[in-house]
Amino acid sequence: MPRRARCWTTPYGIRRLSSSLEIDGQNVTLSRLVSIPDTVYGSRTSVDAGGAGCVSSAESQSAIEASAIQEAELTRIRRSHQLLFVTAAALMALAGCSSSSSSSGGGGATSSASGTSTSSGSADVSTASAALAKVSQAPTMISLTTPLKSKPPAGKVFVDLQSNEDPAIPNTTGIKEAAAALGWTVKVISFQSANPATLISAMNQALQYKPVAVSLAGLPQALWSQEVAKYQAAGAIITPIDIGPNPVSATVPINIGESTTQGDALGNWFAADSQGSGKGLLVTIPDFPALKAVSQGVTSTVAANCPNCKLTDLNATIPQQDSNAVVPAVVSALQHDPSIKYVLAAVGVEIPGLPSALKGAGINGIKIGGAFAGIEQTQDLQSGSENAWVSQNQVYEGMLAVDAAARHVEGMSISPNGGGTPIQLLTKSTVGAPSLSLNAPADALAQFKNLWHVSG
């Protein structure tokens, strides 16, 4: 009898189930990554063997037993990867997800040479070095420069839709700070992340407040597309955050979050740090659209800026991640090719505990970097066990959602990505205190207020 399947989603198309993390000397259990099928995002039509996009309905997030301080920290970590979940019923209806699907070679990792040239040529990495120097600096300016026509009228309502599993989130902090500066009211409506029907109800409830905009994080438009026409009729916009690749429209005029640019930064670090001759293992799970975008950014940047570099792709499968087998696959790939000296991960939660695993296998001299840094990665940077991670400002993302709403009120055009979210490539010398969100520009709100003609 086929197992009953259950699908989940997050802003990056991923969820983490069953991997270990140490905080304040205590080992706690977090969730590992699982994926919804790419068909939800309108791209691929297959998922990995054994219901790769699904997990047994009997599975659930492991209970986390820690002190109150540890629990607060874990909430921040969970939010760093936007753990918003949806049920199988909605995903099956939208994407035909089932407990059986096409195989990708038995769930084994696929390691292959990348398209990056390995022919002889100039080892000049001046372009990569210049780009790296720029992205290694903490951003000091917000990405938008065009001011509003005038100060938006006060008294508007902005609705923030929140998963009831992660209510205290950096995006919401940004939304509330920005709305307060405009004299607007923020209404927070919770929904049950395991029941997408409650998201639809929440979106309908939001319209009762006559909002100028509503924001949600992590849930692909395929799950709420039926609501777009209602928002269009109401004259309100939807400002999604970290939902992966998504087209924009008059009612969904912005898609907030960065993927490819993080890959670009990571690729330039690899090129410059290796002095133009590095051999790296690029670890990703292609079924996650945002992770695929990161790896594409790495590959294209290395191809352009480091012709003598070589990348080997480790395309891990969902079953591997479900069974915590990605790190062993990385170790195996490095044992198979000892000339590889870099591991580049599309997201930190792919490779939890990799430094310890390498040490246990007697593998030394490996430099580790990646995108979408979280608490664990910034801690490892601080300790020196990992080398370079790209972080983005999640509080800023909330401010950007409110800016889009203000431009909508003023009848102005809205940049499809809001000009981009600030990112920084962090190393041991620049990481500072471990954090899940980049805190730069430090005066972002003041800069937004200047564009909004708001004093004080």
- Cα 426 from Cα 144, distance rounded (Å): 23
pTM for this model (two decimals):
0.74
H helix or E strand, kind and range, residue 190? strand 185-191
Residue 422, CA distances (Å) to 128, 168, 171, 289, 368 in order: 19, 21, 14, 20, 22
Residue 138, CA distances (Å) to 51, 79, 362, 391, 422 in order: 42, 22, 36, 10, 9
Query: Which of these ranges, 74-78, 164-168, 213-217, 330-334, has the smallest mean pLDDT?
Result: 74-78
Domain ranges within the chain, ordered by starting residue: 5-95
- Is residue 126 classed as helix, strand or coil in its secondary structure? helix
- Cα 9 from Cα 107, distance rounded (Å): 20
Mind listing the pLDDT tens digit for each residue in 45-100?
222 223 333 333 333 333 332 333 233 333 333 333 333 333 333 333 344 443 33
Structural tokens at position 113: 């040479």
What's the pLDDT at 76? 37
Q: How far apart are the first and last CA of the chain?
A: 65
- Cα 199 from Cα 162, distance rounded (Å): 9
What's the pLDDT at 50? 30
pLDDT level of residue 123 (50, 70, 90 thresholds)? low
Q: Is the pLDDT assigned to residue 165 strictly greater than 80?
A: no
Q: Is the pLDDT assigned to residue 221 strictly greater than 50?
A: yes
Mind listing the pLDDT tens digit for each residue in 405-443?
999 999 999 999 999 999 999 999 999 998 888 999 999
- Which phi and psi (to 5°) does residue 266 adopt? -65, -40
What's the pLDDT at 99? 32
Higher local confidence (pLDDT), 119 or 338: 338
Identify whether the C-beta of residue 201 lies closer than 8 Å to the C-beta of residue 226: no
Q: Is the pLDDT assigned to residue 448 strictly greater than 90?
A: yes
What's the pLDDT at 15? 37
- Cα 283 from Cα 7, distance rounded (Å): 23
- Across 252-262, average pLDDT: 93
Which of 104-108, 119-123, 146-150 is predicted most confidently? 146-150
What's the pLDDT at 174? 96
- Which phi and psi (to 5°) does residue 357 adopt? -65, -40
pLDDT level of residue 262 (50, 70, 90 thresholds)? very high
Mind listing the pLDDT tens digit for each residue in 278-306?
999 999 988 777 788 899 999 999 999 99
What letter represents residue 27's amino acid?
A: N
Query: Which of these ranges, 30-44, 235-249, 299-313, has the smallest mean pLDDT?
Result: 30-44
Identify whether the C-beta of residue 45 lies closer than 8 Å to the C-beta of residue 63: no
How many residues in total does the chain contain? 456
Q: Is the pLDDT assigned to residue 162 strictly greater than 80?
A: yes
Q: Is the pLDDT assigned to residue 309 strictly greater than 80?
A: yes
Higher local confidence (pLDDT), 246 or 164: 246
Higher local confidence (pLDDT), 42 or 298: 298
Q: Is the pLDDT assigned to residue 209 strictly greater than 90?
A: yes
Q: Is the pLDDT assigned to residue 108 strictly greater than 50?
A: no
Mind listing the pLDDT tens digit for each residue in 313-322?
999 986 787 7
- 68: CB partners within 8 A, 6+ apart: none
Query: Which of these ranges, 7-21, 148-162, 201-215, has the smallest mean pLDDT?
Result: 7-21
What's the pLDDT at 245? 83
- Across 144-168, average pLDDT: 89
